[in-house]
Structure 1
Amino acid sequence: MHPLLKYSLGTAAGAVAAGAACVTYAAAYEAHAFRLRRFDVPVLAPGSRPLRILHLSDLHLMPDQQDKVEWVRGLAALEPDLVVNTGDNISDPESIPVALHAYERLLELPGVFVFGSNDYYAPSPVNPFRYLRRRERSRPIVAPKLPIEGLRKGFTEAGWLDLNNAKGELKADGRRWAFAGVDDPHIRVDRYDEVAGPADESAELTIGVTHAPYRRVLDAMTADGYRLLLAGHTHGGQLCVPLYGALVTNCDLDSKRAKGLSRWGPSWLHVSAGLGTSPYARIRFACYPEASLLTLRPAR
């Protein structure tokens, strides 16, 4: 065999082996290595005592994911003042009782929620390279519908506030919080015009909630005076480049904001990288599945 051909074949074999090792790591380890990230957010009025929000998103639960269920159940030990759920809880018609079991202890705490597309529709296989192209128009949804009303009923009967194209308020830690939320902008069921208007400045804090962090929604909430914006959807990029980060967000948010805390004009934006994956691509790479604990502190 010619030395150059032998070298080329060896290089190709090495690349295939390295790729297989990365996929095995991403599927067998990282997709199950759930983590809690902590952030301090200087958003409260001077002199206020701190408040803690547990932000959960994108579990994409399947009935066989008991490790994820038990990890989420354990988060109740954090005893947050408020739970915010930004959607995509399920991926299968049989997942609703599984999800309600996962959230059971958290449902005893004050909470709010919005839904994502995969609460309404089951995921379907897609070409992963499609996410590397910017899409100007939404694709028609042809996936089977999920029995979403069972999930909504479980949340609302426990006292969680439904913010799908709705405003509301609740008390947590003895203080009043004001909210505005929209249904999922990714499938264009957001109706911000139904909740538009100045935020209630007499509340301890004003919070805007959405599943997908599209700029049109974030800009509208900020303009109305919501000073903390919470979203999910991006999976943090899901398959990231080490030392670089996310390549895509699957919306019009820039990739540098695919997860974590950043400023959005005068407001703070937190995007959760979420805890799940599509059932057709159960891998994460350089992007651990996560929940977030936000400690709200007085602004300086």
Structure 2
Amino acid sequence: MPWPLRMLARLIFPLILGIYLFVAWRFSRAITVLSGIPPWKIRLAVIAGVGYLNLLPILIWGAYLTGNGSRLFLHRPTTTLADYLITFPYWFGLILVVEVFPYFLTLEGLAWLLRLFPFSAGINLRMWKSALQVIIVIAVAGYVGARLYLDTFRVQIREVSVSVPHLPRELTDLRMAFFSDLQVDRYTRGSKLQRFESCWEEMSPDVVLFGGDLITHGQQFISPAAEALCRIHPPAARFACMGDHDYWANPRRVAGELSRCGWEFLEDRHMTFAYRGHTVLVTGITHIYSRPLSPAQLHQLLKNAPPAEVKILLVHQPAERVIQAARQYGYHLVLAGHTHGGQIVFRPFGFSLTPTQIENTFYSGYYEYEGMPVIVTNGIGLTLAPVRYHAPAEIVRIRLK
């Protein structure tokens, strides 16, 4: 069983099951209170709905237990009707119940507290609580559906201005664009790649930087993904570094296909380019799960960087020790990807929560580390889940000031 399917069937589904059962139980009771429909009919309908939304892990388990795992529609090179009927509904349901859960818990707690006060005797708390629960489910379902569509299928351009001490005036005109985690696969292709490519016509950057992860897995998508990047032709330079998925798929082929059409694929090396009489340095390092750069190697590389008016570090993973070293050796900007901005970010009561925060202090957006700017992009493609939520696909347009 491939690792994304193992994660889904053995970890995510069991963890979410308890939340699903609680939300389904309280929602069925709320409908019963408000509608007067016999409870058994409500329970049957809710069980059927929960069962449908969870067909995906059930099918995965069934296919692999019966030796038919390789025949799953998830292994096909393009999306199918089954994805729209089974895969996307599963992720919609998962996000819905996780978003609803804290509000249901809060309502339960408030209802319990109100019963302690005498004035609550004249209030039909059960009716009010049930009505609010139904309203919450309907409102959150509409929001989640719209947010999933917009964040998954659009590619937005995010503007970031970066302050560089003593920046030559000519370099304020330098237009840079940064993206990462293209991850072409059965979900990220076709129309989404077209939207990705159309962004370059709008931006017309002088320099393009790519933070790694050309594809998600396997080798069948390397060539079409590389072709999409080869159609990007900035006048000054194009730089790329190695990502985890590139390394797992075929690192030499990924680097070779990009280098063939003029990309500078930087694996622990420096490259400079000139812009209006000034020098800009880009240092690309390979710091990934399967090949982390040792502290000694990292410091030796950065210490020997050639002089430049602007020094940029390009890396896939936004590891804190890499960022610390960049600051120590006078870099002006760190660009990283890897995190997908969390890809699925829950926001109970406005607080952002995503598993990515466990691994990465820097997981999405613009940061400053002891005054040095750090940009971690949400990327373009997908890992594990075929959707994005509160982490829209993006390309970052960078201006120096």
Q: TM-score range by the shorter chain?
A: 0.7 to 0.9
Deviation (angstroms), 1:160: 2.4
Do 1:63 and 1:94's aligned partners in 2 also have CA atoms closer than 8 Å? no
**Number of the residue aligned with 2:241:** 114
**Number of the residue aligned with 1:288:** 392
**Number of the residue aligned with 2:267:** 164
Q: Identical aligned pairs, as a percentage?
A: 23
Do 1:199 and 1:206's aligned partners in 2 also have CA atoms closer than 8 Å? no
Distance 1:276 1:224, change over 3 A: same
Do 1:186 and 1:251's aligned partners in 2 also have CA atoms closer than 8 Å? no
Are residue 86 (structure 1) and residue 211 (structure 2) matched?
yes
Higher strand share: 1
Unaligned runs of 5+ in 2: 1-28, 35-41, 43-129
CA-to-aligned-CA distance 1:68-119 (integer Å, 9 cap, x gap): 2112222332221211111112014221122122212324541111121111
Distance 1:275 1:23 in 2: 20
**Number of the residue aligned with 2:231:** 105
Distance 1:246 1:207, change over 3 A: farther
Distance 1:152 1:188, change over 3 A: closer
**Number of the residue aligned with 1:185:** 288
Unaligned runs of 5+ in 1: 122-145
CA-to-aligned-CA distance 1:159-217 (integer Å, 9 cap, x gap): 32222222232334553222323213334432453352436573121111111111111
Distance 2:268 2:297 in 1: 6
Distance 1:247 1:281, change over 3 A: closer
Distance 2:148 2:323 in 1: 33
Are residue 211 (structure 1) and residue 320 (structure 2) matched?
no
Greater relative contact order (Cα < 8 A, sep 6+): 1
Do 1:199 and 1:226's aligned partners in 2 also have CA atoms closer than 8 Å? no
SS at match of 1:71: helix
Which of the numbers 172, 176, 185 marks the counterpart of 1:53?
176
Distance 2:152 2:30 in 1: 39
Distance 1:163 1:17, change over 3 A: same
Deviation (angstroms), 1:261: 1.4
Between stretches 74-83 and 166-175, larger displacement belongs to 166-175
Distance 1:39 1:205 in 2: 16
Distance 1:87 1:95, change over 3 A: same
CA-to-aligned-CA distance 1:234-284 (integer Å, 9 cap, x gap): 111112234333434366432xx4222121113111110111211x41111
Distance 1:201 1:91, change over 3 A: closer
Distance 2:277 2:198 in 1: 24
Between stretches 238-247 and 67-76, larger displacement belongs to 238-247
SS at match of 1:277: coil
How many residues end up aligned between the 2 structures?
A: 269
Which of 1 and 2 has greater Rg? 2
SS at match of 2:228: helix
**Number of the residue aligned with 2:192:** 68
Are residue 249 (structure 1) and residue 352 (structure 2) matched?
no
Distance 1:119 1:82, change over 3 A: same
- TM-score, structure 1 as length reference: 0.77
Alignment of 1:12-23 (within 5 A): none
Distance 1:199 1:148, change over 3 A: closer
Do 1:56 and 1:86's aligned partners in 2 also have CA atoms closer than 8 Å? yes
Deviation (angstroms), 1:18: 6.6
Do 1:179 and 1:208's aligned partners in 2 also have CA atoms closer than 8 Å? yes
Distance 1:157 1:176, change over 3 A: farther
Do 2:367 and 2:373's aligned partners in 1 also have CA atoms closer than 8 Å? yes
- TM-score, structure 2 as length reference: 0.59
Distance 2:320 2:30 in 1: 52
Deviation (angstroms), 1:7: 3.5
